[in-house]
Amino acid sequence: MGFLLTVFCVVFQAHAANAGGLESRIRKLAAGASLAPAQWGVCVKDAATGKTVASLDADKRLVPGSTLKLFVTGAALLLLGPDHRFSTVLHHDGKISAGVLKGDLIIKGGGDPSLGSTLVRGGRPMEEVFAEWLKSLKEKGAASIQGDIVADNTLFEGPAIPGSWPWEDAGNYYAAPADSLSINDNLYQLVFAPALRVGEPAMVLRMEPEVPGLVFENHMLTGPAEAGDNGYIYNVPGSFRAVPRGSVPAGAREFAIKGALPEPALFAAQAFAGFLKKSGVAVSGKARLAALPVSIDDTKVLARSESVPLRDIVRLTNKRSFNLYAEMLSRAVALSQGKPGSAAGGNGAIREFLRSTGGSVEGVRLEDACGLSRLNMVTARAMTDLLVFMSKSPVFADYQESLACPGDPEGFGHIKEFGKKTVLEKSLRIKSGSLSGARSYSGYLRNKAGRLLAFTFIVNNYSCPPSQIEKIHEDLLLALAESR
C-alpha cells in the first residue's frame, strides 16, 4: 500500500472544499487491484483559472488512443475556422462541341473528407453528388465524352496511412487511406452469408458499392452468434487483393463488415464513369489517376462541390471517433501552415499548434492524428492544458459541442452508455479512446458549484475487463461533479 501511494502520488489544491474526500477516492482507486499493475495519468484543472484540481502522474507519457483527435480538431477549428468548406472541382482540359467533350473530364480533390458521405450532418450521398455533376455537364452541352475520367488526388503527398498502423487494421474502414479525393467515407461493405454451423466458411456475397478490380482471398469463418463481429479485412492502400479473416456471427442470413477502399480517388473516377454510362453519357476513355497535378482553367470548370462546414466535420470526427476525418484534417492543417500535406507534415503542424497554445509538448509524440498508432505518446497534463486553452477560444462552443454526452444519439461505442441516468447527463462532455490495454477519457465537466473542469484520464497496460476501467472513471467523474 505504501509503495503504491508513493508511485501514485496525488496532489490536490486547497481551493477544493471537499478535497479530502476526493483525495481519498483517488487514493483508493490508485491502490485497487484494477489499477495497481497499470500506468494511470490524471490531470484535472479549473478551466477558468487553469489551476490544478487533481493530478496523478500527469507528466507520464502514455498511449492515448482516440482522445488524440482533440489535438487536430482543436487546431482545425482555430486555424481553418468553423465555417471553412473544402472544395472538389469538376473541370475539363478540352473543348465542348456538337454535344461532345473532346478531352479529359477531371475531378480535382480538395481534401474534403465528407464528399459523398451520409454520416456527416448535412452530407449528401455519392449518387446525389454525381447527379449534380452530370447536370452541370449537360448544361454545358456535353452528351458524350471523348477522353478519360481523371482523378487528381495530388494535393496530399506521402503514404496514405502511417507505417506504424498495425497490419491487422490496414484494410478495415477505420484505417481507410487519407486521400485528397475521398468519397463515400473511403469505405465499402463486404456482405457475407454465414454458414449454418460454427466453424464453417462464410461465403462472400457482394460488395456495396462495387469496387472495380477488387478481389478477395476469403478465409472468413462462421463464429458463434453471441460472439458478434470478429472479422477483419487484410489489405494495404493500392492493393486490389484483400484477405478477409476471422469470423462473422451465425444466425443471420447476411452479415456485413466494412473495408477500406484501396484507391479512393480511382474509385471516385470509376464510380462517376459508371454513373455517366448508366445515365446515357458515352465515355470513350478509361477512369485513371492523374500522374501530376492538373491545372484548372476557370473557363473550363463545370462544378464546384463545397463540403459541409468544418464544424460539422469536426463534430463527426469527435462524436464518432472517425479516424479518416482526423487524418485528412491534419493534412489540411499542414497545408494551411505552409507544410506538406502529408502525415508527417500534419504531425509537425499540430506540434507547432500545441506549442503556440502555451502548453507543454515535452511528453508529446505524434505518429498520426487519429490515435490508432500505439507509438503516439501524450501526457494527461498536455491534453488538459489544450482543453483549458480551447475553453477560452472563440471556437469553444463548436469544440465542446463536438464531444459526446451521456446517451448521445450521435455517439459511438461504449461512451454512449457512460454516465447515463446520473448527474453527468447534464454536465459532461467527453471524448474517449480505446486500444487493446489502453483507455483514455478527456473533456469538460460542470460541477455542482458551477465551475467548468477540464480533465484527462489515461490508463495503459491494465489487465482487468474494460468495463471495470469505465466504472472507475465514471465514479471519479461523479466525485468531481460533487466537488466545490
Residue 25 corresponds to which cell in the numbers above? 477516492
Residues 180 and 342: their CA atoms lie apart, in Å, by 10
Are residue 266 and residue 357 in the same domain, yes or no?
A: no
- Residue 470 has φ and ψ, to the nearest 5°, of -60, -45
Q: Are 283 and 274 in contact (CB under 8 A)?
A: no
How many angstroms separate the CA atoms of 466 and 420, rounded?
17
Helix, strand, coil percentages, rounded to 5, for the chain: 30, 25, 40
Question: How far apart are alpha carbons 307 and 317 in whole angstroms?
Answer: 15
User: 237 and 323 in one domain?
Assistant: no
189: domain CATH number is: 3.50.80.20
Between the CA of residue 87 and those of 287, 327, 445, what are the distances in Å?
21, 17, 36
Domain span holding position 412: 2-81+311-482
DSSP class per residue in 442-481: EEEEE-TTS-EEEEEEEEES--S-HHHHHHHHHHHHHHHH
Q: What is the DSSP string of 82-130?
A: TT---EEEEEESSEEETTEEES-EEEE---BTTTT-SSSTT---HHHHH
Interstrand relation of 428-435 and 215-216 (parallel, antiparallel or unpaired): unpaired
What cell numbers appear for 288 in the block?
485513371
pLDDT at 36: 85
Task: Estimate the crossing angle of helix 69-79 against helix 343-356, to 10 degrees.
Answer: 80
CA count, 13 A, side-chain hemisphere, 64: 36
Domain count for the chain: 2
pLDDT tens track for 10-45 = 333 334 445 556 767 777 787 788 888 899 999 999
For the segment 266-314, what is each residue's pLDDT rounded down to a tens digit? Answer: 999 999 999 999 999 999 999 999 999 999 999 999 999 999 999 999 9
Share of the chain above pLDDT 90, in %: 88
How distant, in Å, are the alpha carbons of 30, 50, 142, 433, 438 from that of 469? 12, 27, 60, 12, 10
User: Are β-strands 100-102 and 241-249 bridged in parallel, bridged antiparallel, or unpaired?
Assistant: unpaired
Nearest to 71 by CA among 473, 458, 389: 389
* Location of C-alpha cell 476471422: 246
Residues 319 and 447 in one domain: yes
What is residue 13's predicted lDDT score, i.e. its pLDDT?
Answer: 38
298 lies in the same domain as 346:
no
Q: Name which residue leads in pLDDT, 29 or 319.
A: 319
Edge-to-edge order in the sheet of strand 255-260: 203-208, 187-193, 255-260
Does residue 19 sit in the same domain as residue 139? Answer: no
Is 284 found in the same domain as 264?
yes
Q: Where residue 483 falls among pLDDT bands split at 50, 70, 90?
A: confident
The pLDDT score that the predictor gives to residue 169 is 95
Q: Map grid coordinates 486547497 to a residue.
A: 14
Q: Give me the residue label for grid cell 449528401.
A: 124
Beta-strand ranges (E) seen in 328-484 are 428-435, 438-446, 452-460
Q: Pairing relation of β-strands 438-446 and 452-460?
A: antiparallel
Torsion of CA 63, 66, 72, 73, to 10 degrees: -150
CATH of the domain at 468: 3.40.710.10
Average pLDDT, rounded, for the chain: 93
pLDDT more than 70, % of the chain: 95
C-alpha 339/C-alpha 353 separation (Å) is: 13
Contact between 145 and 276 under an 8 Å Cβ cutoff? The reply is: yes
The mean pLDDT of 77-93, rounded to a whole number, is 98
**Is 316 in the same domain as 300?**
no
Show which of 278, 307, 336 is a domain's final residue.
307
**What is the C-alpha to C-alpha distance for residues 165 and 188, in angstroms, rounded to an integer?**
20
- Indicate if 342 and 454 belong to the same structural domain: yes
CA 22 to chain centre: 34
Q: pLDDT at position 268, please?
A: 98
Q: Which of 307, 341, 359 is the endpoint of a domain?
A: 307
**Residue 305, C-alpha cell as written in the block:** 462541390
pLDDT class of 359 with cuts at 50, 70, 90: confident
127 and 45 both lie in a single domain: no
Final residue before a domain boundary, out of 286, 307, 328: 307
Q: What is the pLDDT of residue 411?
A: 84
- DSSP strands (E only) in 261-331: 282-283, 287-289, 301-306
Whether the CB-CB separation of 224 and 198 falls below 8 Å is answered with yes
Distance CA 341, CA 111 (A): 9
For residues 19 and 163, membership in a common domain is answered with: no
Q: What is the mean pLDDT of residues 248-273?
A: 97
> Do 316 and 240 sit in the same domain of this protein?
no
Q: How many CB atoms lie within 10 A of CB 122?
A: 11
C-alpha cell read off for 258: 466494412
* Among 1-5, 61-65, 307-311, the least confident range: 1-5
**Is the pLDDT assigned to residue 2 strictly greater than 70?**
no
User: Alpha carbon of 147 to those of 132, 286, 400: distances in Å?
Assistant: 20, 8, 48
- Per-residue pLDDT of 407-454, as tens digits, reads 998 888 788 889 999 999 989 999 999 999 999 999 999 999 999 999
pLDDT of residue 19: 53
Give me the torsion for CA of 41, 45, 47, 50, rounded to 10°. Answer: -120
Give the C-alpha separation, 382 to 399, whole Å. 17
Q: How far is it, in rounded angstroms, from Cα 397 to Cα 411? A: 18
Pair (324, 298) in one structural domain = no
Residue 9 pLDDT exceeds 90: no
